[in-house]
Structure 1
């Protein structure tokens, strides 16, 4: 039965540069790449060597500890490079596209007529399985596990987030097919979270899924917040999450028998000349998407993802595995003398410290300047204002810093991943790297508890 959840805690950061409802076909990228660093805890092992010829859907590498999980090429072409870091750690596998769009062949079928093993096998061999994340820990889901439920968020509430209504208006049939496949992977339910502003949206008629609506500020669109409200995770339980984009990929796979990883992303931010939507391919080179579209090329910060959780990239880097937008903002490599003492009519503050708080609908140009360094981490009740969960985030972070596993469990580490505490990090007056610390804690729990 559908429910509505009204969230009061959180924050909408009002940035300039939201993408207009205009779709443009981006130039076909000459290279695409998959980056194992997008997957916490993954130890990749190569399936191919440099100069190998691949089709879209052919395996590039696999998980050493779960060798049935493949990561496949989004395009056909030649494996151009395997870039490594310290201790020969694989950082990215780069494929040079040949423009032929040749696809590996997969089964074309109605998921409702297949069993769980057949669907799982197709998702594994096609390389779509890595889109499943498990909670707790936010790591790769294991095919052998049986999730309590599967959760999908049908909207994004982060700054300058893309409009899923616009992006997926022509993909509803594929999304329905994808949901049909998901319904065979759990004995529980498939849940879809929608914004109350789009309750009667293109997603509202979907079947084999329970729809719940959410209202309130960011992080209302985070799937972790939705899990906390709909079906909190207890110790020993696990649920799976998947993006609405990945659901569309799955639907296309079963409808066509091909791995079609074309996607629409938002190019947004105050440093973009004309913010809009771009149609591109999964893992595309950033330069093919931003070249000629920013105001001051070479001096701005390009982010694969949103400003809270995205990764800083350069033009020769690649679109993140889960990124649905590219954000471009000023770098912020300048400093103001006693800027904190000014009235701040043109500045934004999460704590309403400036006079700008008198203009609640004003949009701002914010840069990446930290405005200070790390300092004493004190209890102030600040984090609780931005996290609509019944946990104590400051105590949790301190327990992680103390490596106290029992306290981590008691304080709710099973319910959160980095994106859920991203606002806490943004607003933190102590400049604590909350997301980095939380990931260290999650990795510790995986190692010690499993």
Structure 2
């Protein structure tokens, strides 16, 4: 049985540089890094020291708040450097690997016969628990709180996002094993959303299927939760990304942890947009080698709306399955605010004409086309924000740290990525995602 999720509010940002459905296998050698900052809210306690030889799947550090939550090495090799920042904060754990991989054996299991506690213990020991995130707060799930439901989005609607129908092809066995395991971790339902009839997630058992349609952010989990089973105060929902299901399923079926991604190389500054295979934490220079136009380019680990700026010396985010390269917006137009605009996307019709050609693809750069200023009340946020929430009021409540207002305005239901579109169209150029992240952190610290 399936239920449809349709939204009308939102905005599809069509960009040039969509990945062709061709996958190139990359060699595994090189330098990899695990960044504790990828796991928001985690305070790392280091287990492996510099010079230590580690296997793929061996724990590098654990969460100070719960030592059961381990964070593993995605590859085998030697820990060559632990990079620290201010106050000795751990920024990166670098591993130099070779082409031959040695995996820690966690043992094959029969998911059907396992209890919920046995599955949890297996996910803890193997380092797979960080793939389970939670609402509220958009952090690694607290295993001591029972979720009322688990959500998986099998449809990515962000600009140039990887096509899950293609990425998940041939992984049905792994997907089913992971979903069966997740179904035992909640007394509620496991909700899976798909965007087409070709999705490998379409025939999965032990789940409730939803067909989604509409503009971005229909692929965001928060949008789907709000439509299916909204979060109230005191409730918890767990979220797992579709490509992380494959990692969990492979662990259950083979006993080995393969944090392997089919990564979409996208954007106008990628010479040949396509898919490549890479492990989490791979050096970006190795992933885009020979395929990047370096002329005034912004490289992003993730999508253009919610990804993080990186460099070729940087590393692929632990949860990311996309690298985007677009022009750096460091040029300015003379009287750009006072002439008709045909080459940019805008929800306003004031001298902008993108609404005349909704299917046109644009080559946008990173220029904000304006300066930071106080909020201007235009009503435009609500046009692209499908949740039943007042976005500007919530942003302001986060800024002046009113916990009661944040609760009442629906902060439990959102993640920073849900405000990426409002940030994109904001005439005030306010950093919406950063504001929401700080607000959620404050709520977590004060309210638990």
Give TM-score, length-normalised by structure 1. Answer: 0.97
Aligned residue runs from structure 1 range 330-349, under 5 A: 330-349=327-346
**Corresponding residue number in structure 2 for 1:157:** 157
Question: Could you tell me whether the CA contact under 8 Å between 2:24 and 2:275 is conserved in 1?
Answer: yes
* Candidates 428, 432, 435, aligned match of 1:434: 432
Number of residue pairs the alignment of both structures matches: 447
**Corresponding residue number in structure 2 for 1:202:** 200
Aligned residue runs from structure 1 range 299-448, under 5 A: 299-353=296-350, 354-448=352-446
**What CA distance in whole angstroms lies between the structure 1 residues aligned with 2:430 and 2:354?**
25
Q: Deviations over 1:412-443 (max 9, x none)?
A: 00000101111000110000111001011001
Question: Could you tell me whether the CA contact under 8 Å between 1:75 and 1:101 is conserved in 2?
Answer: yes
| C-alpha distance 315-186 of structure 1, shift in aligned 2 (>3 A) | same
**Corresponding residue number in structure 2 for 1:127:** 127
Bigger Cα displacement from structure 2, 218-227 vs 119-128: 119-128
Q: Following TM superposition, by how much is the alpha carbon of 1:144 offset from its aligned partner in structure 2, in angstroms?
A: 2.0
Question: Could you tell me whether the CA contact under 8 Å between 1:155 and 1:194 is conserved in 2?
Answer: yes
Q: Deviations over 1:100-157 (max 9, x none)?
A: 2101111201211111111111111111100111100001112222111110000100
**Corresponding residue number in structure 1 for 2:248:** 250
Question: Could you tell me whether the CA contact under 8 Å between 2:27 and 2:99 is conserved in 1?
Answer: no
Structure 2: give runs of 5+ residues left out of the alignment.
none
Bigger Cα displacement from structure 2, 350-359 vs 427-436: 350-359
**Corresponding residue number in structure 2 for 1:228:** 226
Question: Could you tell me whether the CA contact under 8 Å between 2:280 and 2:319 is conserved in 1?
Answer: no
**What CA distance in whole angstroms lies between the structure 2 residues aligned with 1:179 and 1:421?**
29
Q: Deviations over 1:398-418 (max 9, x none)?
A: 111111110000000000010
| 1:294 counterpart = 2:292 | yes
| 1:97 counterpart = 2:97 | yes
Aligned residue runs from structure 1 range 138-149, under 5 A: 138-149=138-149
**What CA distance in whole angstroms lies between the structure 2 residues aligned with 1:410 and 1:119?**
36
Q: Deviations over 1:52-82 (max 9, x none)?
A: 0000010101101111100001111001111
Q: Deviations over 1:336-362 (max 9, x none)?
A: 101122222223223244123321211
**Corresponding residue number in structure 2 for 1:22:** 22
* Candidates 248, 257, 265, aligned match of 1:259: 257
**What CA distance in whole angstroms lies between the structure 1 residues aligned with 2:206 and 2:349?**
44
**What CA distance in whole angstroms lies between the structure 2 residues aligned with 1:446 and 1:275?**
40
| C-alpha distance 161-419 of structure 1, shift in aligned 2 (>3 A) | same
Query: Secondary structure of 1:156's match?
Result: coil
| C-alpha distance 338-359 of structure 1, shift in aligned 2 (>3 A) | same
Question: Could you tell me whether the CA contact under 8 Å between 1:107 and 1:122 is conserved in 2?
Answer: no
Structure 1: give runs of 5+ residues left out of the alignment.
none
Q: Deviations over 1:236-273 (max 9, x none)?
A: 00010010111111110011011112220100001111
Query: Secondary structure of 1:3's match?
Result: strand
| C-alpha distance 379-355 of structure 1, shift in aligned 2 (>3 A) | closer
Question: Could you tell me whether the CA contact under 8 Å between 2:376 and 2:427 is conserved in 1?
Answer: no
